[in-house]
Amino acid sequence: MAEETIYVAIVEDDREIRQLLTLIIDGSPGYACKQSFNDCESAIPAIEKNPPDVLLMDIDLPGISGIEGVRQIKEKQSDIDCIMLTIKEDDESVFESICAGATGYLVKDTPPVALLEAIRDVYNGGAPMSASIARRVIGSFKKPAESPLTTRETEILNLLCDGENYKTIADKLFISGDTVRAHIKNIYRKLQVNSRAEAVKKAI
């Protein structure tokens, strides 16, 4: 049985990267690029009228930033899953993106296969992160007394930092892949709830 097609929108100001992402998505069974934009000003109203399942969003964009774009889109359409796809790996960008409503955070050198896996993962309820980003997230909560994460959630993040995928994590911890996804979703929810403005700066 064929997998359900996931419709993806892209917001990326670099034309070559935008075209490459479109080719990767349209050239893969089970995926389709619904729309692509070079800025948030054109993306926001179009996405409101014709929402995708998953949105790939750059951060450094002309005009409205990708983080603000995600915030505005999520305010109107909370069911769209947004993945930040960016070269930025600094703590502030990561946590501001999560607070804005991003469900995933990937660096632009993510291989095509891993990118497609992340799109399907977020569509199925996961919260994909590049290993380097997961490392920063857990590094912000090194002191147990300050961490909002459970022991199991911290354990899962540590495995993500080691580059393990969901299936391997599930096998190592003797839990299901769905349980791993649920834990990571909770991690994101907790960071979003507990990391507003001053709280984010304090955590960093």
- The CB density around residue 128, as the number of other CB atoms within 10 Å, is 26
Kindly state whether residue 136 falls inside one of the protein's structural domains.
yes
Kindly state whether residue 164 falls inside one of the protein's structural domains.
yes
Confidence (pLDDT) at 197: 31
Most confident segment among 103-117, 123-137, 182-196: 103-117
Kindly state whether residue 184 falls inside one of the protein's structural domains.
yes
Confidence (pLDDT) at 6: 97
Most confident segment among 47-51, 85-89, 141-145, 183-187: 47-51
* Owning domain of residue 130: 6-203
SS3 label, residue 91: helix
Confidence of residue 196 (pLDDT cuts 50, 70, 90): very low
Asked which of 2-16, 31-45, 150-164 is least confident by mean pLDDT, the reply is 150-164
From CA 158, how far away is CA 135, in angstroms rounded? 7
Identify the CATH number of the domain in which residue 100 sits. Answer: 3.40.50.2300
Mean pLDDT in residue range 107-134:
89
Answer whether 163's CB lies under 8 Å from 131's CB: yes
Kindly state whether residue 1 falls inside one of the protein's structural domains.
no
Kindly state whether residue 125 falls inside one of the protein's structural domains.
yes
Count of domains for the chain:
1
Residue 79 pLDDT greater than 80, yes or no: yes
Confidence (pLDDT) at 193: 41
